[in-house]
Structure 1
Amino acid sequence: MSPLSTESHRVDGHDVHEHVVTVPLDHRGGTPGTLEVFAREYVRDGRQDAPRLVFFQGGPGHPANRPDVVGGWLDRALEEFRVVLLDQRGTGRSNRLDRQSLTGAPAEQARYLRHFRADSIVADAELLRAELGGDTWAALGQSYGGFCLTTYLSQAPQGLREVFITAGLPGIETTADDVYRATYAQTAVRNEEFFARYPRDLVVAQQVADHLEGTEEFLVTGERLSSRRFRTIGIALGQVSGFDALHFALEDPFTTVHGVRRLSERFLLEMSRRLSFADHPLYALVHESIYAQGSATNWSAHRVRDEAGFALDAPEFRFTGEHVYPWQFEEDPALVPLREAAGLLAADDSLPPLYDADVLAHNTVPVAAAVYVDDMFVPYEFSRRTAQAIRGARTFVTNEYQHDGLRMDGRRLLDVLVDLARR
């Protein structure tokens, strides 16, 4: 590993330090190679000696947020912490993975992707912490970031002083099939709620799906839009702001061109924005592997879809949610070159466990977690069991929020969690 390199600038009463550290590709030493890991640290004037808090972004496969203003949870955190926004490996400036950078034969690509799960992300964070001086730090994890912190508590708790998790307590012994059966059930509920609010949208969505079965329509990225891919825009139903945004997206999708009914250019542009994985291909590549612990996922979301009531020929139209399907690697140009590697990763039955139940049962790090009863992506029942399995963990259980509670009401949530952890 190379020493830390840092560049700094000023932003509205804050020092901003941009850190880069070189880490091993394989922290276990079996595969040669290195990566650069990037983190952006915010330090408010007068808080130069404050303890650090590291933020783990949701995903997988998404970089840390790039705040254009300091507000919400970040503003609250900076009142008592120096805040480190970590680009998890394979995202942002931490050796972003996509069809351009992931080279080699499919088997080589799949072996490479094994090193982009939570265990490697945690090991990267520990090396960064050591380079920043070695003091323990607080940690905040949203969604998949909470999964990473549960791994952190399992594998390197000595680096943590306190942990705050929002919408991200994973099932520590659940399989991918368990997760997707539960998330399909919650997605069905959110469909019912959405169409109850906007009954006309059920008719519109079914019309669009039927139209796509018989008419070729092409997205601005060049590929044909399929009916099954159109249904995946339902991922928006997991956010409190998603209902209205999805409703607006479905406004007037049709137009008439030379007497023929077609999808409008505006609608196709909106679908391109919502459906393309070009901005975050790693999400699609490793999404199911975050649930793999010694067993293959074998495209779990695809396998259990019909039994969950989401078959394409089901009598009632339903949007799908946070589910990745093998055929998306045939239809999305950003994913097509990575199709074989994705299939090999889905078939990999040797991915190691991410959580240690015994270590968690003897945990001594203060942990506070916000758990949302109606979360469409992280099933409440699994989160509840995990909270019970982590010694000393305290939970704020609520149905006030959907999965994006930290974005919508971050200052209040962080206040609640800090108080809960320190009681």
Structure 2
Amino acid sequence: TPANRQTLPLRGGPREQADHLAHFRSDSIVRDCELIRLQLTGGAPWTVLGQSFGGFCAVRYLSAAPEGLKEVLITGGLPSLDAHADDVYRAAYPRIERKVAAHYARYPQDVERARAIAAYLAEHRPESAGHRLTPEGFQSLGILLGTGSGSHQLHYLLENAFVRTPHGTELSDTFQEAMRSAASFAGHPLYALLHEAIYGQGERATDWAAERVRREFPQFDAATALKGDGPVLFTGETIHPWHFEVDPALRPLRETAELLAQRTDWPVLYDPERLAANEVPVAAAVYHDDMYVDTADSLRTAAAIRGLRTWVTNEYEHDGVRAGGPRVLDRLLSLVRDEA
């Protein structure tokens, strides 16, 4: 059953919706997996592959139910065991800035193109299928820069953003639709609703961490950049309150999102003592310049899980398992089975 703006009201109001969504984190996912495993394997342990947030789930699995695991493979998904969401984003913004700088170095013509697009959006605030197109939404297209071909995709998107019309130069319908499609959460609203909640542990609220921490990095403010002559910096996979104002798929869920952001009763997700005594074979690919998952956090966690073998590489971005699946999986399987 999909959980979105159409179906969540069946649960009740925003409070009931938030309480329901609190069960979609890694702790509940692992409990579900254990129920499914008993039905599928008759009780035999199984091998799991965790990509990105799936890796967070795998580390939770090792903490909560290692008896269900035969082997664990993780790609781009070793979480910090104790970092608050603030810490995650404080480390993320400098990584994002490096990715943007690399993109502009590859395509220097995109600096002025991005400024022109952001300025147009700031002045005209167009809408596409009910989605308000804003400079901040445009900046969020930087999420593409965390994938192997993302820089090229972003460049081609910017390349023909404007068209000449009888009324002057305008953002093309093609660009506006592409931006709306890339920025919309209609197909995956849980990503926006739970993105920061996956880091929640204990009594401290996440409280829109990405939005608050961004103020410590004023170079990401589009309005400030446009007043000067600096580049407009793209952002990454950060979620902000304005997402729930501009996106019609999220707008009805704004109060639900606020309740999740202010929640202060998150269960602790990881068990350092159990991880230190781990006996399950584990191998993890750590992408050295991963835009989405901090390398230093990943390596600290790898050292905290007994017997975990890492493959640290900058050959791939966060989507390495998609871009180079056979090679990545063969490498991890050889590590986890002590054949490397």
TM-score, normalised to structure 2's length?
0.95
Give the equivalent residue in structure 2 for 1:181: 90
Distance between the aligned counterparts of 1:387 and 1:320, measured in 2? Answer: 27
Moved more, 185-194 or 253-262: 253-262
What's the offset of the Cα at 1:378? 0.4
Residue in structure 2 matching 1:283, options 191, 211, 214: 191
Residue in structure 2 matching 1:310, options 213, 217, 220: 220
Give the equivalent residue in structure 2 for 1:229: 137
Is 1:355 the equivalent of 2:270?
A: yes
Contact 2:111 2:231 in 1 (8 A): no
Distance between the aligned counterparts of 1:206 and 1:165, measured in 2? Answer: 38
SS at match of 1:162: strand
Structure 1, residues 114-170: CA drift from partner, whole Å, max 9, x if none?
Answer: 111000001001000001122100011100100000000000100000100000000
Is 1:129 the equivalent of 2:37?
A: yes
Q: Report the structure, 1 or 2, having the larger strand content.
A: 1
What's the offset of the Cα at 1:311? 2.2
What's the offset of the Cα at 1:259? 2.4
What's the offset of the Cα at 1:216? 3.2
Give the equivalent residue in structure 1 for 2:4: 98
Is 1:242 the equivalent of 2:242?
A: no
Q: Which runs of 5+ in 1 are unaligned?
A: 1-94
Give the equivalent residue in structure 2 for 1:206: 115
Is 1:387 the equivalent of 2:297?
A: no
Give the equivalent residue in structure 2 for 1:74: none
Distance between the aligned counterparts of 2:81 and 2:7, measured in 1? Answer: 32
Distance between the aligned counterparts of 2:57 and 2:80, measured in 1? Answer: 12
Distance between the aligned counterparts of 1:155 and 1:255, measured in 2? Answer: 56
Residue in structure 1 matching 2:182, options 270, 274, 286: 274
Give the equivalent residue in structure 2 for 1:402: 317
Specify the code of the residue in structure 2 equivalent to 1:227: P
Q: Report the structure, 1 or 2, having the larger helix content.
A: 2
Give the equivalent residue in structure 2 for 1:141: 50
Specify the code of the residue in structure 1 equivalent to 2:82: E
- Correspondence list, 1:337-356, <5 A: 337-356=252-271
Structure 1, residues 325-363: CA drift from partner, whole Å, max 9, x if none?
Answer: 011101100000100000010000111111111110111
What's the offset of the Cα at 1:252? 1.5
Distance between the aligned counterparts of 2:125 and 2:71, measured in 1? Answer: 54
Distance between the aligned counterparts of 2:65 and 2:132, measured in 1? Answer: 46
**Same amino acid, percent of matched pairs:** 52
Specify the code of the residue in structure 1 equivalent to 2:265: S
Is 1:165 the equivalent of 2:84?
A: no
Give the equivalent residue in structure 2 for 1:253: 161
What's the offset of the Cα at 1:222? 2.1
What's the offset of the Cα at 1:257? 2.8
SS at match of 1:370: strand
Contact 1:217 1:263 in 2 (8 A): no
Is 1:154 the equivalent of 2:69?
A: no
SS at match of 1:139: strand
Specify the code of the residue in structure 1 equivalent to 2:14: P
Distance between the aligned counterparts of 1:339 and 1:127, measured in 2? Answer: 33
Structure 1, residues 355-383: CA drift from partner, whole Å, max 9, x if none?
Answer: 11111011100000000110000000000
Specify the code of the residue in structure 1 equivalent to 2:316: Y
Distance between the aligned counterparts of 2:125 and 2:55, measured in 1? Answer: 41
Give the equivalent residue in structure 2 for 1:411: 326
What's the offset of the Cα at 1:323? 0.2
SS at match of 1:304: helix
Structure 1, residues 259-298: CA drift from partner, whole Å, max 9, x if none?
Answer: 2321101111111110110000000000000111112110
Contact 2:131 2:180 in 1 (8 A): no
Specify the code of the residue in structure 1 equivalent to 2:220: F
Specify the code of the residue in structure 2 equivalent to 1:405: G
Distance between the aligned counterparts of 1:298 and 1:385, measured in 2? Answer: 25
What's the offset of the Cα at 1:310? 1.6
Distance between the aligned counterparts of 2:99 and 2:216, measured in 1? Answer: 18
Q: Which runs of 5+ in 2 are unaligned?
A: none
Is 1:216 the equivalent of 2:131?
A: no
Equivalent pairs, count: 328
TM-score, normalised to structure 1's length?
0.76
Contact 1:169 1:378 in 2 (8 A): yes
SS at match of 1:353: coil
Give the equivalent residue in structure 2 for 1:327: 242
Structure 1, residues 89-123: CA drift from partner, whole Å, max 9, x if none?
Answer: xxxxxx22111111121111111111110000010
Q: Relative CO higher for 1 or 2, CA cutoff 8 Å, sep ≥ 6? A: 2
